[in-house]
Amino acid sequence: MPKRSRRLQGVLAVATAAVLGVAGCDAVGGDSPAPSRTEGRQGRPSPKPTPVWDTTPASIAAVGDSITRGFDACSVLADCPEASWATGSSKEVDSLAVRLLGRAGAAKRSWNLAVSGARMADLPGQMARAVAHRPALVTVMVGANDACRPTTSAMTPVAGFRADFQDALRALRAALPKTQVYVASVPNLKRLWSQGRTNPLGKQVWELGICPSMLGDADALDAAATLRRDTVQKRVEDYNEVLKEVCAKDERCRYDGGAVYDYRFGPEQLSHWDWFHPSVNGQARLAEIAYRTVTAKTR
């Protein structure tokens, strides 16, 4: 090959290498080396994980006792499910179901399976009925009747209360592992006694057998009566500790943190039929507590 041709090829080779070198620097930014395949993947934003708790569940089943049935909210000694804090349709209550699903949605996709007089031992059976509806959220409010017995010795033992609650949650999880659970604390029964004992009509209704362990002989303030009420109150506190502990072990369970127990039900929040169960106004307050807990970003 002539010397001139070899010289020309050499010049072209150097020029080509220079151009490619500049292009390579521009592609990765200055003098940085090109990213490896692994580094490229690491630089991309990872998709956000699906949250464990959905603050907008699409359906609700309510289990529990007379409070969830709206007992004595509308008339004496009768259920009033339309006033229920959990699933009621009353505009005065604005129930949890209405707040979450809208009025039309609540009518179609919420179910009140609570039973007046129910105790924790009844919860596994109620939960089994709830499973049949495949709800996205189950609300639980039960325990007052376990303390409201004819005598303090007849109250549900704490160990039995725990076992039945665990059985109910296990039954739910076996069938619906992703269904969420909202658990309300047991109300402060002693505070309800102190509020209602000043009302003569309320005390007459109490004599029919409403929570005799706490409300019986309502005007008695002697040592025996005080011990009886304190014993009931301590049992309620123990029940709430069970609800808190068992719920904490389930990532899709939220306990209200004692909000219902701590709420100071006044005359406007108590039924004027028995001065013990929540009135329509009281049911609305329970709905507010539940809604705050269910829609909170963290439990």
Whichever domain contains 141, its CATH number is 3.40.50.1110
The runs of H, that is alpha helices, within 29-153 are 37-43, 96-109, 123-131, 144-147
Maximal CA-CA distance, the chain: 125
CA separation for the pair 57, 109 (Å, rounded):
10
- Residue 20: per-residue pLDDT: 36
Q: Is residue 48 part of a domain?
A: no
Contact of 261 with 153, CB cutoff 8 Å: no
- Residue 39: per-residue pLDDT: 44
- Residue 31: per-residue pLDDT: 40
Q: Are residues 185 and 255 in the same domain?
A: yes
Q: Are residues 280 and 221 in the same domain?
A: yes
State how beta strands 180-183 and 253-255 pair.
parallel
Q: Are residues 90 and 34 in the same domain?
A: no
Q: Are residues 86 and 121 in the same domain?
A: yes
The structure tokens listed for 197 are 């004992």
Q: Are residues 13 and 78 in the same domain?
A: no
CA separation for the pair 146, 226 (Å, rounded):
19
Q: Is residue 128 part of a domain?
A: yes
- Residue 49: per-residue pLDDT: 62
- Residue 299: per-residue pLDDT: 67
pLDDT string in tens for the chain (299-residue length): 544 444 434 433 433 433 333 333 333 333 444 444 444 445 565 556 667 899 999 999 999 999 999 999 999 889 999 999 999 999 999 999 999 999 999 999 999 999 999 999 999 999 999 999 999 999 999 999 999 999 999 999 999 999 999 999 999 999 999 999 999 999 999 999 999 998 888 888 899 889 999 999 999 999 999 999 999 999 999 999 999 999 999 999 999 999 999 999 999 999 999 999 999 999 999 999 999 999 998 86
CA separation for the pair 111, 114 (Å, rounded):
9
CA distances from 210 to 148, 166, 201, 222 (A): 8, 28, 13, 21
Q: In what order do the strands lie in the sheet with 253-255?
A: 110-112, 60-64, 137-141, 180-183, 253-255
Which among 226, 264, 253, 256 has a CA at the least distance from the CA of 240? 256
CA separation for the pair 252, 179 (Å, rounded):
7
Q: Is residue 52 part of a domain?
A: no
- Residue 44: per-residue pLDDT: 61
Q: Which pTM value belongs to this model?
A: 0.83
CA distances from 78 to 6, 34, 68, 110, 229 (A): 108, 76, 12, 21, 26
Q: Are residues 70 and 7 in the same domain?
A: no
How many helices (H) does the chain have, and how many strands (E)?
12, 5
69-100 per-residue burial string, b: 16 or more CB within 10 A, e: under 16: bbbbbbeeeebbbbbbbbbbbbeebbbbbbbb
Q: Are residues 39 and 167 in the same domain?
A: no
> Which residue range is the domain that position 10 belongs to?
3-43
- Give me the amino acid identity at 149: R
Q: Are residues 92 and 21 in the same domain?
A: no
Q: Are residues 117 and 35 in the same domain?
A: no
Q: Are residues 36 and 116 in the same domain?
A: no
Question: Which residues fall within 8 angstroms of residue 69, CB to CB, at 6 or more apart?
Answer: 79, 80, 81, 84, 112, 114, 115, 116
- Residue 198: per-residue pLDDT: 87
